[in-house]
A and B are shown apart, each in its own frame.
Chain A
């Protein structure tokens, strides 16, 4: 709302444009400030990831050293006359030069300039202990190599992926069938059953845990993947809800045409509904992959006796609990190797993913 527009006297054209310009200048400034604030916020929000990434490439020596830089670094050395000498930052005549310390002394030391080694030794007055060592960018891959075997990474990766994929098949099939039943058929008690389905979301897991676990013990399933896989074939509230909401938006005309052609309900589902529902089926699949990949409690309680069948999430927790806190580089490497798959999946499918969150979160 501009002030000039409301003035009773006719506005001079020049005055009008100036005020618009002033206004757009103010908007640009607000826009810059808001965007800058968001940049600062997101930098803080994601900085732990950067920190973890940097640590994973650092040697234990650097991690334990006070005042070491954030980036992976190792002390620079220079080979002079067949021997390695550490390089220091030496202030000479107000300029700091990086020079290799050849002969240490209490009050004066002898250095050599790596860029001009032929010039011979340079004597510098002062205590060499006060000098700062010169560092070079030196990422180490040792942490990743060690974690690969210490964490039993290939095995756990296979377990995690296999459990996620088998569960994905179960979830997609069972939830599609159930959602189709809710979306397309009329029968007494449908509304009530749907209400029960949704209310299971709010049921604390602890209330069903003890009998369920006991039954799985009695069946001899504890220590196998079955307690993690079998329930996925019996549908879950979130995914059924998501699928049903989508199926309701698909027009019924094509179902009816198929029915007139003599197709039964299952035939109609497979040849008419599923081809139109791919976006939401993919969303459910991605949701399940990420959920299963990140699940901690179920693999913890059902696979704790079988480390060879365990998933990455639990394996990582056990690994970090057994390591001393002096090895953050190792732990962060393992952490990044665990989170890389869901993060990449999300970045590829981010639209599908976030739309799914909106549907399950808002429409309920």
Chain B
């Protein structure tokens, strides 16, 4: 019966399928033209010697680009920069929206709707504008952050011009981007059944106990989601340093991010094949990290719908 239906769809079903695919066609064409074919082309480019200026005749070079990649110290230096920054910025990107959402969801907070709007608002500020505003705040002499530190007797660093402080500085510049994360975390918190808190209270759990044994496990899918998106984003990070100091890598090469190197290889040096090889390496690294996250999810992400045995 099922086999029969599969072999010959009824006229009605065929009609429906045709209409459905017709409505999908803008995306299918777009997906082929702007995603699938470019991804494959990028892969093909990695085995060739194409440059944007095209002075050498096209030929296949096998794994030459990949060998060059492994011998290029700039690749490893810039990857290290990206990883170092990720190690500093990812915890902030995950914990800060969660903490603010906890505050906004607190029953003790008055006017939480207004606070929600105000915390979200900077999320819509163009990031170039955000950079210019925050670099003013981080100015070592006139910025308010060092002014505030000075009030409590601390000599603030020269945030954006000191290789030791530039990563925290960049994290501060990015703090206006937490709005989306706050909203997502808050929606997650609202979805936790109140019975769980009641039960925890009866068992004698205080604020910390409830956070540890109810909120955190119930929020683990949301935390997982922000972490995965955060990893994908942070590995591609380079636009802020590009705007801040035109991609020079100052101070002292600390902002020579991997993606910045990729961008320069392609747009400044016009090396398409090598740029494509760098892009594929980035893709593979992103896949590896998200793969590890998905593998680890079974140990710490709790899905309420599933039984724990599966």
Contacts and interface: CB of A to CB of B under 8 A. Distances in A.
B27 A235 contact: yes
Q: Main SS of chain A's interface residues?
A: helix
A339 B125 contact: yes
B210 interface: no
Interface of B: 13, 16-17, 19-24, 26-31, 33-35, 37-39, 41-42, 45, 52, 100, 103-104, 106, 108-111, 115-122, 124-129, 132-134, 136-137, 144, 175, 179-180, 183-184, 187-188, 191, 201, 222, 225, 228-229, 232, 235-236, 239, 243, 246, 259, 262, 266-267, 272, 275-276, 278-280, 282-283, 286, 290
A180 B19 CA distance: 10
B26 A235 contact: yes
B23 A185 contact: yes
Given A186-B20, A208-B42, 18 more contacts: A35-B109, A52-B133, A55-B136, A177-B26, A197-B31, A203-B39, A206-B283, A207-B279, A210-B266, A210-B275, A211-B42, A212-B38, A214-B272, A234-B30, A335-B128, A335-B129, A354-B116, A358-B183
Contact of A174 (B22, B27, B121, B127): B27
A293 B125 CA distance: 9
Nearest to B110: A35
A195 interface: no
- Which of B19, B29, B276 has the most chain A CB within a 10 Å cutoff? B19
B279 A31 contact: no
A200 B35 contact: yes
Given A34-B106, A48-B136, A206 B259 contact: yes
11 contacts: A41-B103, A48-B136, A181-B21, A181-B22, A196-B31, A204-B282, A217-B52, A313-B128, A316-B126, A316-B128, A335-B129
A182 B23 CA distance: 8
B24 A233 contact: no
A324 to B, nearest CB: 14
Contact of B108 (A34, A48, A240, A290): A34
Contacts of A358: 183-184, 187
A152 interface: no
A294 B30 CA distance: 23
Contact of A35 (B19, B111, B225, B278): B111
A234 B201 contact: no
Given A38-B109, A211-B38, A181 B267 contact: no
B120 A350 contact: yes
A260 interface: no
Contacts of B272: 210, 214
B109 A361 contact: no
Contact of B16 (A185, A204, A217, A231): A185
Contacts of B42: 207-208, 210-211
B17 A312 contact: no
A317 interface: yes
- Which of A211, A231, A290, A353 has the most chain B CB within a 10 Å cutoff? A211
A290 B124 contact: yes
Given A178-B26, A206-B236, A265-B23, A27 B108 contact: yes
Contacts of B100: 41
Contacts of A339: 125-126, 129
